[in-house]
Structure 1
Amino acid sequence: MNTENKLVSQKSQTKDYIESAIFAALIALGALITIPLGPVPITLQNFFVFMAGLVLKPKQALLSTVLYALLGLVGLPIFAGFSGGPQSVLSPAFGFILGFIPISYLISKYSRGEKNPWKIFLILILADILLYAIGLPYLYLILTRINGLPMTLASSLKAGMVPFIIPDLVKALLAAILGPKILSALNRN
């Protein structure tokens, strides 16, 4: 590889890292917009995870969510409720943060080149189902095994899913509409 090609490649890689960091910051910003509601608050985190998946390449989207989780775990107060630190793994909501990592990658992988907002919406809904499949068992485990609360499957669904269905549908629809427009504006069709 000649010097000019190497510089272009390094510039592209640097741009990818910067875009991933921007989305990690947006996810953190989404955590600050919080409506407290039981063990898991309503936030805009998953909206920005959806957008990372729709706007970034798969590895970039993955990097943005890994970076977000790691920065929170080292102590930056970027999780919901201005929390952070290694003790965050004992939060009932931490399973959802872990779920952000695979869904960001999968959204990006399966939405690449898709312009139909309804197909994108479906991809986001499927990703959200995966997010619940990761987050709800974690919530149940932390609340029952660590916090010692008596809880059934129905009560964990009531605490960690039911109040979020409508807000998540709205966020997915908004992301499905905005994602292709942002890609078009960035000339990344």
Structure 2
Amino acid sequence: EDDKDVKEIYAEYESKLNKPKSIADFVKNDMADSDEYVAIFIPGGHGAMLGLPEDYDLGELLRWGHKNDLFTLAICHGPAALLAANLESPDSFKQDDSDNAKRDFIFKGYKMVAFPTAMDKQMPKIGYLPGPMPWYFAEKLEDLGVTIDNKLASGQTHQDRKLISGDGPLAANDFGKMSAKALLKEFS
């Protein structure tokens, strides 16, 4: 509320923030002709593990972004959504699908930071989660050739090519700065 520039940006985009397009609509109607985007941002939180890794449209969007040299920004549990880039068809994702793991994943060979599985396994013991998580995304990404380069959520950020990642809430500020600097360097 105290930053005039932020307030102006918010006012300019408020209507779009209040009524965002769906990924499915964008993929179906706008993706092929669009050249006004510079990045795909996947926010964190456990919600990123619910539905996004199985979203065929998100997979199409991620592959389109990669092909068009866009940045991909993912923080905390957001990298779980990157699994969608490995989907072949709307119903091909399964937690134990070894055929998907054999495909050439667009982020194969990349390094990143993300919220660590070891910490997720501890969350029920301290009362943060009501019980164990049904699956852990880091293992799936590693099976596809991604290196998760952190053991703790200590505020680390990382950039590998055009993939920028942050390990959790403590990384949010530096993640934002790293992303802004990379985008400004690329487009100024």
TM range (shorter): under 0.3
Instruction: Give the TM-score normalised by structure 2.
Output: 0.28
Instruction: Give the TM-score normalised by structure 1.
Output: 0.27
Q: Larger relative CO (CA 8 A, sep 6+): 1 or 2?
A: 1
Structure having the larger proportion of residues in helix? 1
Structure having the larger proportion of residues in strand? 2
